[in-house]
Structure 1
Amino acid sequence: MFTSINPATGEPGERFAELDGDGVEAALVRADAAFASWRVSPVEQRVALLNAIADRFEAGKQHLAETATREMGKTLASAVAEVEKCVVGFRYYAEHGPDFLKGEEVALPNGRVVTHWLPLGPILAIMPWNFPYWQVVRWLAPTILAGNVGLLKHASLTQGCAALIQQMVSAAGAPDGLFQNLAVKSDKVSRIIADKRVVAVTLTGCEGAGAKVAEAAGRALKKVVLELGGSDPFVVMPSADLDAAVKTAVKARIQNAGQSCICAKRMIVHADVYDAFAEKFVAAMDAVKIGDPMEDGVEMGPLSSVEQRDTVLEQLEHAVAAGATLHGGEK
């Protein structure tokens, strides 16, 4: 059983039943059946579905955004922006996708070569909680367009978001089994990857999870795409406009409460401007409005869970113990 916990209040919310073995098997049967017909569907039908899903996301924007905020703590304004980005994503592939799928003919001295983009089958996506809609949509839109079928294993924290995505896709008129949310825990993933009906897997997440998925995919000789973590640098040189650099650095650090692949995680500042930048940056960070992510004007809500908070606190303690100096906040 999955339970949504509001990280801003600690209060439990909606509960979601976990799929058992029979439930997973039934989902795979539906996915396989859906692929048999979707793979030969006209591109125009796929485009129409993408636009219909975009319409559903647009109409349900507020509800989608509020669910994300309650489940993982991002500010309501940023959650709304994420849903709006999803609408743009669906419409982008609806508009440009048919051109992406066109074959290409290459003339050779003794003949010609013609390339075609053909559907593969059901594809499993293992997605994180930090952008619970966009991370799914940027995979789902091209997957549907290409004639494939989607299976989603979403993060435990955001099962409400996952359920809503499936509702939106179904309400838009998608064939049964074309996209399914598999409400399972990580211990079932390897068996799903190994199933002969699943042709490929993609994961966005940490290095440890990526290594396990890559191992399972390699063992089953399945195609795999991984997007893993990083530690992005923010470099400030003496030529920089310090006020502009500080403003950008704060935004780059607090986006999604710092829970983003592209957040600036290291500030590398030239010695000539270090003191001035540090003073301005600390003051700007202290001025960030932190609070209930549902409230207007709040710039940063809570981290996604107590576990995430404790991890950050441990990192701070280790850094200070190793000689780092803590600026701002509680010392």
Structure 2
Amino acid sequence: MILYNDILGTVGNTPIVRINKLADHKRKNIFAKLEFFNPGKSVKDRIALNIISEAEAEGKLNKDSIILESSSGNTGIGLSIVSRVKGYPNIIVVDKNCPNEKIKLLKALGATIVMITTEKNDSEDLTERRIEFVNQARDILDHVFVPNQYENPNAPLAHYKHTGQEIINFMEETGIYFKAIFISVGTGGTISGISKRIKEFDPSIQIIGVEPLGSTLFGGEKGPYLQQGPGNYFQPKNLIYHDIDLGIKVSDQDAFNMCRRLALQEGILVGGSSGGVMHSAIDMCNEIAGNVLCVLPDGGEKYLDSIYSDKWLMEKGVVVEQQNINDVHILNIDGLTDYSEFIRKLRGVVLKDEDQGTL
């Protein structure tokens, strides 16, 4: 048993697990690094801690400092945790596409929240507008420190020093070596840091970046997308292409259905970026002669009202595959004491018996 001085001691050293049922039909060894084991339930805790710690070491923060950042949610959550431990007030600028669960977490963690909104398409990426607001606020407010996850070199450095090294340690300790690593791409920090460290270790390991269809980080047409966190309409300075072998795109429908499959078949509850990464890995694994690792950025608890809501997906035009739907079965007990007929049908539902599975 390890005693940590505070919650920040639990950032990093996330587990790697084997994916079994999803990959079994292709007889491939696919593994997942579960970043939702970080205290803020995402990979962004790593950069939040490293950016603030380095800023303190460089004398950029003092007792009067306010931390101000644009975020789709996860970086804001990570920064809020670090801010509470270290004693800084913080402002997080989100937009109307941010899932409500993330807003609730930010409120619970004491962040001051600013939400950017517009009457335009719900799925339009508003990252650049959030950054525009942050830049103006920095010029007006006193003692403001902007972590700037899109450009701050201490973001990819966190993944170079820790995430990438953890993957190398795993390979050396277990003897399970990866031929390819699939990584979600948004601000660029995760893939740039991991890829640099991995390529130093073994240049033959493929680094494959995954972005939403509609994002333009790897070219293509700009368009709306619902995946929260990955993707952008501009190239962040922290996205370094040098060590990335391939960039691929995944649709909302494929990403979200894979989230459902991961939960229902593997017991792993993840967000849309993780679904996109896993879909891409399974889709491509027959082209890769060896083990594959997926870095899964965050957990699914923040998306229960979106990705895991049949109604929300239907409203957004995303088709949920029938095998990925898990209904609640209602039993009205008014005047009813014999439940046997319902129970017999329930057995058919549990065992997937099409003839007896309708309640």
TM-score range, shorter chain: 0.3 to 0.5
Q: Which has the higher contact order (CA 8 A, sep 6+)?
A: 1
Q: Which has the higher helix share?
A: 1
> What TM-score do the two structures reach when normalised by structure 2?
0.32
